[in-house]
């Protein structure tokens, strides 16, 4: 268990203590993690407990006990996983549609995290007790490839890559209507919907930057098959951007309307990142699932797209056989 003691210098005067502690811990430690330590009484200022909003004063004596956040009580569950790749640092999985990535208050079972805890036995603290090992997410009804960290070093490395936008993410989607341009970019900020905090909305003035690149693979009578690349990773980014240009994702009940599919026709086809230990760039692929392929087949039109798009590959980016466990 690591301990850290320091005196607040002039540079920290007037700064919130959670932000200052995160800076003193160093690169790879988030403000969320620092706040979790403070809330767990692992941070003392001048010998006493403080709140994350405490404003640091020059000369304050700070003691930090870098302990794992209190266990969340998440239950490990024997849920089958399709593992695309695994080593001591990372595990790459092919998440099915309908599986939630991590537990939420009042719903702590049946998620990917529950399954990973059974498979891996332990996952690193991400600063949120309900999201151990999780560095990015997919919506419940979005299928496809996702990477999780298995130790603290991998968690810090992957989190940094996501922050620096060094992770490559590619999606396949069916969107309603016939998209006019063969290639396009949707570059418009997003923020929480002021009327419904569970939804996102375009917010040109106050939102966070969001950029989606799309390419038309095939146009059908009533929908278009797209390949999309995310240059940012905002919540519901593809779904909101596609609605904004008048082509919501097929089957998206939140940003479009029901019909065409039982869930939104969105699939994370590829993820690429640098390995936390070796620095080697790695890419992993997930086959487009049968429910999306079936919609294409029902169109009655030929779709001459390569096997890697419609059916995926039997091997991942390292030539290793995908396996189910």
Q: Please, are residues 60 and 8 in contact by the beta-carbon 8 Å criterion?
A: yes
Q: Quick check: helix, strand or coil at residue 18?
A: helix
Cα gap 77→31, rounded to integer Å: 30
| Count of CB atoms situated within 10 Å of the CB of 169 | 23
| Residue 54 phi, psi dihedral angles, 5° rounding | -55, 135
Write down the catalytic residue from 60, 139, 141, 252: 139
Can you name the residues that pair with 85 across neighbouring β-strands? Answer: 92
Cα gap 175→279, rounded to integer Å: 36
The verdict on whether 291 is a catalytic residue reads no
Question: DSSP states of 80-114 as a string?
Answer: --EEEEE-SSEEEEEEPTT--SS-BTTB-SSSHHH
Long-range contacts formed by 100-104: CB under 8 A, 24+ apart: 100/140, 101/134, 101/137, 101/138, 101/140, 101/146, 102/130, 102/131, 102/134, 102/137, 103/72, 103/74, 103/130, 104/130
The C-alpha angle 156, 39, 116, rounded to 5 degrees, equals: 45
Q: What is the 3-state secondary structure (H, E, C) of 271-322?
A: EEEECCCCCCEEEEECCCCHHHHHHHHHCCCCCCCCHHHHCCCCECCCCCEC
List residues with catalytic annotation. Answer: 139
């Amino acid at each position: 268990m690591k301990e850290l003691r320091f005196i607040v210098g002039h540079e920290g005067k007037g700064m919130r203590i959670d932000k200052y502690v995160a800076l003193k811990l160093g690169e790879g430690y988030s403000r969320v993690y620092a706040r979790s330590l403070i809330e767990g009484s692992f941070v003392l200022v001048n010998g006493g407990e403080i709140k994350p909003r405490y404003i640091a004063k020059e000369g304050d004596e700070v003691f930090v006990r870098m302990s794992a956040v209190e266990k969340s009580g998440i239950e490990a569950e024997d849920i089958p996983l399709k593992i695309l790749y695994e080593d001591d640092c990372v595990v790459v999985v092919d998440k099915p549609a309908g599986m939630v990535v991590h537990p939420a208050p009042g719903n702590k079972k049946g998620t990917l995290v529950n399954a990973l805890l059974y498979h891996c036995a332990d996952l690193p603290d991400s600063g949120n007790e309900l999201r151990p090992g999780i560095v990015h997410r997919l919506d419940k009804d979005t299928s496809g490839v996702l990477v999780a960290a298995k130790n603290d070093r991998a968690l810090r490395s992957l989190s940094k890559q996501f922050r620096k936008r060094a992770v490559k993410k590619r999606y396949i989607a069916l969107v309603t209507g016939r998209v006019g341009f063969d290639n396009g970019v949707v570059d418009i900020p997003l923020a929480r919907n002021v009327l419904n905090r569970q939804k996102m909305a375009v917010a040109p003035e106050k939102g966070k930057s969001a950029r989606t690149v799309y390419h038309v693979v095939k146009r059908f009578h009533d929908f278009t098959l797209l390949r999309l690349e995310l240059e940012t990773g905002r919540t519901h980014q593809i779904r909101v951007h596609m609605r904004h240009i008048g082509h919501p994702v097929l089957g998206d009940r939140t940003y479009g309307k029901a019909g065409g599919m039982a869930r939104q026709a969105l699939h994370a086809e590829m993820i690429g990142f640098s390995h936390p230990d070796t620095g080697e760039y790695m890419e992993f692929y997930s086959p487009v699932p049968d429910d999306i392929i079936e919609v294409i087949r029902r169109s009655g039109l030929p779709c001459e797209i390569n096997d890697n798009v419609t059916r995926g590959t039997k091997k991942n980016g390292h030539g290793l056989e995908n396996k189910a466990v």
